[in-house]
Amino acid sequence: MSVALEGRSVGALPLLRHIALQLEIADVIDSMVSWDVRHCRLSPGQRIEALILNTLAGRTPLYRVAEFYEDTATERVFGPGVLPKALNDDALARALDKLAEAGPRRIYSAVAARACLLEGIASDFLHYDTTSFSLFGDYPDDPPGELQLTRGYSKDNHPELKQFILGILGNRQGIPIWSDARDGNSEDTQANADVIDAFCAALSPEQLRRTVYVADSKLVTTDNLQRLHDLQLRFLSHLPDTFGVSAAAKEAALAGDWEDLGTLAHNRRAHPAHYRASEQSGVISGRTYRLVVIASDHLAERKRATFEAHLVKKRAAAEKALAAIGQRRFESLEAAGEAAAPLLALSDRGPFHLRLHIEEQTRRVAADGRRGRPRKDAPALEVTEYVVTGRVEEPDPAFLDHERSLLGMFVLITDLDRNEYPAARLLQEYRDQGSVEQRFAFLKDPCFVDGIFLKTPARIEALAYVIVMACLLYSVFERRVRLQLQAQGRRILLPGKRWSDNPTGKMLLAMLEHLIVCRLHGDSRWWLCSPPSAIRRAAEIATYAGLDLHAIYGAPP
């Protein structure tokens, strides 16, 4: 007797959907958008949930979501009665429209706040950064009241394409606490100003006192420093070299004492970077700031090759300029001096100085004005000309040693107390800025987010926040597993036979990708029917995420 058996690949979808239920993502969305329960087979929140899971499935661009769910056991993922036809393109587009109408940034803030509360996610140090999303399509210019899809500085290296900017405010683990979609030509300096105003307006005075805002050097402008002071928001950033106090702090550090910070605790490379710090201070717009000069041996090594190449180019440029002026002839000593003056001024600012001389020379020319040397028997005149000659001098060895000593230095600017936040902690917190950049790598990974194919700026803006919701769900999943591994002192075996107590969410999802559920013909119940090794691996991951694999995927009958 044969029994018909149907199997479907679901991967990590049931597990991720269970975490989404625990975070109450759909419930928060449904409570904030306008919809009629009598006319909806699925709520807007559930459809947005389907978009989030499709993003994390990493297999299908948005315009083929319905096709993706046709091959998925939707009832096992979303619950009994949820069939693929309920997740067609029109239904999902209407859910995006409802999200757009209700204010997607406001809704995302509520979703993230709820997730942070339920997961106990700390948000004392908040890191802000932006990235750009390029768009393949023709969009109207300057639509009133909508996200401006336009050309701007492209971090994707596609200046020919229209784009929008997405900013994320995340904690030190990269959990996206807050996000904002911005016009395609927005600048990071203005983005920092806007996020400070908007986010701080949502914080209570007590929350504001506990928060430290961390951002890259685009934060540091005189206007933003004044804004931070007015709001009494503590901050940490990289001081740009365009501020004179940066060079002054480095010079003072060279002449002063250094604190050896060693290597960072979480740095497990064979030859980790070694750091030193020097405490300094500087005045910007009449206000004194704490400046911590950091010296990194790895940074110095990386910059050394660039510095030496720069010397070669400077020498070649000086020799070329000297050869060019040496080809010219001047009618007077004054004219020769005027032509040489800019060259001398330029060499005074560079490592290679020019030693110039003005020589007087006499030359015979044809009396009739013909070009070339006159014949010996032809009438000729003697003219006096002036020629600039010289040589390129070797740079002062002391100057080069001084410049090389500055190569591995950068300056952190902050208003944090030195006793509460010593230099080592400041450096660690600033380096955690990379956690937000890692989330951008997730957001723009074609395995997760492929091309964006939507017709209206409003839907694109809504989708941007859906993508960040997917990033939030991904981050919570990754955080749960990492915390449990580290709390229990255990490691997990990753593909490639590597053991880790700090696996990435992408690696964890890849280990769950081939999970399959089956059901008998005529039966509505699905159960997990993957190979035993895959089930054991998945059960281990689910346990670290605080979940029961068989309760989520279904146990065999």
Separation CA 340–CA 334 (nearest Å) = 10
More reliable by pLDDT, 157 or 335 = 335
Cα distance between residue 202 and residue 258, in whole Å: 40
Tell which wins on pLDDT, 503 or 194. 503
Which of 181-195, 351-365, 407-421 has the largest mean confidence? 407-421
Those residues with Cβ within 8 angstroms of residue 210's Cβ, 6 or more apart along the chain or in another chain: 124
d(CA 314, CA 58): 49
pTM (predicted TM-score): 0.79
**Phi and psi at residue 370, to the nearest 5°:** -70, 145
Per the CB < 8 A criterion, the answer to whether 326 and 356 are in contact is no
| Residue 353: pLDDT over 90 | no
What would the pLDDT profile of 312-333 be if each residue is shown by its tens digit? 888 888 889 889 988 888 888 8
Q: Picking from 158-162, 363-367, 468-472, which range would have the lowest pLDDT averaged per residue?
A: 363-367
Asked if pLDDT for residue 59 goes beyond 80, the answer is no
270/248 Cα distance (integer angstroms): 34
Alpha-carbon distance 219 to 229, whole Å? 13
- CA 13/CA 552 separation, integer angstroms: 10
At residue 1, the pLDDT reads 45
278 within 8 A of 290, measured Cβ to Cβ: no
Report yes or no: 517 and 8 within 8 Å, Cβ to Cβ. yes
Average pLDDT across the chain, whole number: 85
Residue matched to tokens 């500085």: 153
pLDDT bucket at 285, cuts 50 / 70 / 90: very high
pLDDT band at 234 (very low <50, low <70, confident <90, very high): very high
Please count the CA atoms within 13 angstroms of the CA of 216 that sit on its side-chain side.
15
Place of tokens 């702090």: 249
The mean per-residue pLDDT over the stretch 164-183 comes to 86
Which percentage of the chain shows pLDDT scores above 90?
34
Span 468-472, average pLDDT: 92
Tokens in use for 62?
A: 């948005």
**Average pLDDT score over residue span 125-147:** 75
Query: What's the whole-number mean pLDDT along residues 199-211?
Result: 79
Residue whose structure tokens are 């020799």: 319
Asked whether residue 40 carries a pLDDT value surpassing 80, the answer given is no
Q: At what angle do helices 457-487 and 532-544 cross, to 10 degrees?
A: 90
H or E element that contains 356: strand 354-366
Please list, in sequence order, all residues whose beta carbon lies within 8 angstroms of the beta carbon of residue 275, skipping any fewer than 6 positions away.
Answer: 261, 262, 263, 264, 294, 295, 296, 427
Structure token pair of residue 321:
């300029």
| Residue partners of 312: CB distance under 8 A and separation at least 6 | none
Q: Each residue of 184-196: pLDDT tens digit?
A: 787 877 888 888 8
Average pLDDT in the 510-529 region? 85
Cβ atoms within 10 A of the Cβ of 521, count?
8
Taking only Cα atoms into account, the Rg of the chain, rounded to an integer number of angstroms, comes to 32
Residue 336: closest CA among 388, 381, 373 = 388
Please give the average per-residue pLDDT across 43-66, as a whole number.
80
Average of per-residue pLDDT across 211-216: 89
What amino acid occupies position 249? A
Size of the chain in residues: 557
Q: What pLDDT is recorded for position 541?
A: 95
In contact, 180 and 105? CB cutoff 8 Å: yes
Can you tell me the distance from the alpha carbon of 100 to that of 92, in angstroms, rounded to the nearest whole number? 12
Whether residue 469 is predicted with pLDDT greater than 70 in this model: the reply is yes
Q: What structural domains does the chain harbor?
A: 5-104+455-553 (no CATH), 108-295+409-443 (3.90.350.10), 302-401 (no CATH)
| Cα distances (Å, whole numbers) of residue 507 to 132, 488, 501, 515 | 25, 20, 12, 15
445 band by pLDDT with thresholds 50, 70 and 90: low
* Dihedral sign, Cα of residue 84, residue 86, residue 90, residue 91: negative
pLDDT at 513: 87
Percent of the chain with pLDDT over 70: 90
Average pLDDT over residues 170-197: 84
Lowest-confidence pick of 256-265, 294-303, 467-476: 256-265
- Whether 273 contacts 296, CB under 8 Å: yes
Q: Which tens digit of pLDDT belongs to each residue from 138-152?
A: 666 666 667 777 887
Model confidence band, residue 91 (pLDDT cutoffs 50, 70, 90): confident
User: Contact 286/249 with Cβ under 8 angstroms?
Assistant: no
Q: Which residue has the higher pLDDT, 61 or 111?
A: 111
Q: Output the six-digit token pair for 195.
A: 């996020």
Tell me how far the alpha carbon of residue 340 is from its chain's centroid: 46
State the amino acid at position 338 in one-letter form: E
- Cβ burial of 520 (10 Å; 0-12, 13-18, 19+) is middle
Rounded Cα–Cα distance for residues 511 and 513 (Å): 6
Least confident of 306-320, 355-369, 373-387, 451-465: 373-387
Triad 84, 89, 94: Cα angle to 5°: 115
Is 471 a residue whose pLDDT tops 50?
yes
pLDDT over 70 (residue 475): yes
Do the strands 409-414 and 234-238 form a parallel or antiparallel pair, or are they unpaired? Answer: antiparallel
Task: Say what the pLDDT of residue 267 is.
Answer: 47
Q: What is the mean pLDDT of residues 359-383?
A: 70
Contacts of 103 (CB under 8 A, 6+ apart): none
Range 395-402 contact pairs with CB under 8 angstroms and sequence separation of 24 or more: 395/311, 395/351, 395/352, 395/353, 399/351, 400/311, 400/351, 402/254
